[in-house]
Amino acid sequence: MPELEWRYGYAWALGLMLASALGLIGYFKKRAGGDAHRDRRRGRRRRLLRAKLARAGESVVVLARGAHLEAIRRDGLRVRSAVDGEFTAKVDAVASFAASRPWTWRSSA
């Protein structure tokens, strides 16, 4: 490789390899939806919010599939919180929003 004979050829080759690797990692992370740990945290926060709304008397519908759908329908939505402790809230669980009763969308944005 003639680049290695250049004065800074080795450093440029290593830098190019590093930039290529980091670029591909960033591309595939963005394409895959980002950080899985961050998504799990979001899921926990959403579950807590839904359970608190249901406990306050609001009508809450959650989307679930398979064994999770049956467990939520049977037992409710169980939440463990450092502030509120452990509690279970009864919510409506559906496999598809098309099959649920009509409701109005409320956006916080």
Is residue 109 predicted with pLDDT exceeding 50? no
Helices and strands (H, E) in the chain, number of each type: 3, 4
Measured CA to CA, the distance from residue 80 to residue 90 in angstroms comes to 15
How confident is residue 19, by pLDDT bands cut at 50, 70 and 90? very high
Render pLDDT for 85-95 as a digit per residue (tens, 0 to 9): 888 888 888 88
In a domain, 107, yes or no: no
In a domain, 105, yes or no: no
Is residue 33 predicted with pLDDT exceeding 90? no
Mean of the pLDDT values across residues 24-35? 75
The reported pTM is: 0.50
In a domain, 109, yes or no: no
User: What is the phi/psi pair of residue 95, to 5°?
Assistant: -85, -25
Task: Based on the fold, state whether residues 26 and 48 are members of the same structural domain.
Answer: no
Distances from the Cα of 30 to the Cα of 14, 16, 77, angstroms? 24, 21, 31
Render pLDDT for 38-97 as a digit per residue (tens, 0 to 9): 656 667 778 788 888 888 888 888 888 889 889 889 998 888 888 888 888 888 888 887
Query: By residue range, what is the domain housing residue 11?
Result: 2-32
